[in-house]
């Protein structure tokens, strides 16, 4: 199943995956999706998710480099904005994203899940 999903993702130019490596070991990653849009002069927007750095490799600039690469690609694709979503609630994570150029006050996100996945 993973292989078929991966094949679909890498076959679609709207999905971009970024990896940070130490030698040949993947130590961090993130995803960028470029979404077509009918507003803002039909300029697309980007969505970044799944920003992850292995615990032993944090605070070494890998996450910042991944975000920098994803944002550069989004601007190159003429995105008028990029939104980043995180499930983390700690202030350190918020500060990390703010330092990377994201405005936590800019928009409010809401998430809906199917009833079977809700944790009430």
Look over the chain and give the mean of its residue pLDDT values, rounded to a whole number.
93
SS3 category, 88: coil
Q: What's the confidence (pLDDT) of residue 111?
A: 84
How many domains does one find in the chain?
Answer: 1
- Token pair belonging to 79: 């995105």
**What is the C-alpha to C-alpha distance for residues 92 and 96, in angstroms, rounded to an integer?**
6
- pLDDT, tens only, 35-65: 999 999 999 999 999 999 999 999 999 999 9
Q: Running DSSP on this structure, what letter comes out for residue 23? A: T
CATH of the domain at 44: 3.40.630.30
The range of the structural domain enclosing residue 31 comes to 2-117
Q: How would you list the strands of the sheet with 82-84, edge to edge?
A: 15-22, 25-35, 45-53, 82-84
Q: Which residue has the tokens 């803002």?
A: 40
Residue indicated by tokens 């130590």 = 27
Residue 120: band (very low, low, confident or very high) from pLDDT cuts 50, 70, 90 = low
Segment 65-87, tens digit of pLDDT: 999 999 999 999 999 999 998 88
What is the reported pTM? Answer: 0.88
């Amino acid at each position: 199943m993973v292989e078929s999903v991966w094949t679909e993702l890498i076959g679609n130019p709207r999905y971009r995956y970024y990896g940070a490596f130490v030698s040949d070991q993947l130590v961090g990653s993130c995803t960028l999706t470029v979404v077509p849009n009918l507003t803002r002069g039909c300029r697309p927007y980007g969505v970044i998710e799944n920003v992850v750095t292995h615990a032993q490799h944090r605070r070494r600039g890998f996450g910042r480099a991944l975000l920098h690469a994803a944002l550069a690609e989004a601007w190159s694709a003429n995105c008028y904005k990029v939104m980043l979503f995180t499930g983390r609630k700690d202030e350190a994570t918020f500060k990390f994203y703010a330092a990377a150029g994201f405005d936590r006050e800019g928009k409010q996100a809401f998430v809906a899940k199917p009833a079977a996945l809700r944790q009430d």
